[in-house]
């Protein structure tokens, strides 16, 4: 699938692992799937980009220090306008976990719970994202 196809409204476009031990996760998944992993500085943290072949498919990030969350994968769905979709999600009985905010040079995202409690991230990419 090409990058343009991932920018389509309603398409799952990114997967991200949040974990307490990024080094162990990189070693495990890199070996398991043959992923190429490259670290980038994102403010005060390091964000690892996952590539399968020549395509970026996800990332690995550290959980917040002292956090109380088990390591977990999260999925992002592309939407045309994240702010409008968050309002629509609430109208349909969902809840906002993380309100819309910008990721510099990538886009704008939010995290929602569906009415049953499942978590999903929504993202609107910038042109260069």
Q: What is the per-residue pLDDT across 24-58, written as a single tens digit (0 to 9) for each?
A: 999 999 999 999 999 999 888 899 999 999 889 99
- Is 10 a domain residue? no
For 20-45, give the DSSP string: S-HHHHHHHHHHHH--EEEEEEETTE
Instruction: Report if residue 4 sits inside a domain.
Output: no
Among 112, 104, 117, residue whose Cα is nearest residue 79: 112
Cα–Cα distance list, 125 to 49, 82, 88, 105 (Å): 16, 9, 19, 9
CB neighbours of 37 closer than 8 A, spacing ≥ 6?
26, 29, 30, 48, 49, 50, 51, 60
Whether residue 89 sits in one domain with residue 58: no
Same domain, 65 and 86: no
Does a structural domain hold residue 110? yes
- Residue 34's domain comprises 16-71
Query: pTM score, two decimals?
Result: 0.83
Report the number of distinct structural domains present in the chain. Answer: 2
- pLDDT at site 65: 74
Give tens-digit pLDDT for 80-113: 999 999 999 999 999 999 999 999 888 999 999 9
CATH of the domain at 56: 3.10.180.10
């Amino acid at each position: 699938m090409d990058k343009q196809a991932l920018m389509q409204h309603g398409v799952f476009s990114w997967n991200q692992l949040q974990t307490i031990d990024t080094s162990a996760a990189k070693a495990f998944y890199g070996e398991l799937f043959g992923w190429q992993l490259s670290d980038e500085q994102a403010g005060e943290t390091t964000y690892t980009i996952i590539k399968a072949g020549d395509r970026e498919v996800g990332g690995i990030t550290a959980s917040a220090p002292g956090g109380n969350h088990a390591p977990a994968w999260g999925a992002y769905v592309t939407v045309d306008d994240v702010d409008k979709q968050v309002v629509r999600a609430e109208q349909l009985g969902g809840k906002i976990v993380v309100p819309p905010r910008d990721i510099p040079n990538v886009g704008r995202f939010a995290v929602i719970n569906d009415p049953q409690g499942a978590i999903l991230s929504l993202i609107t990419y910038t042109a260069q994202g």
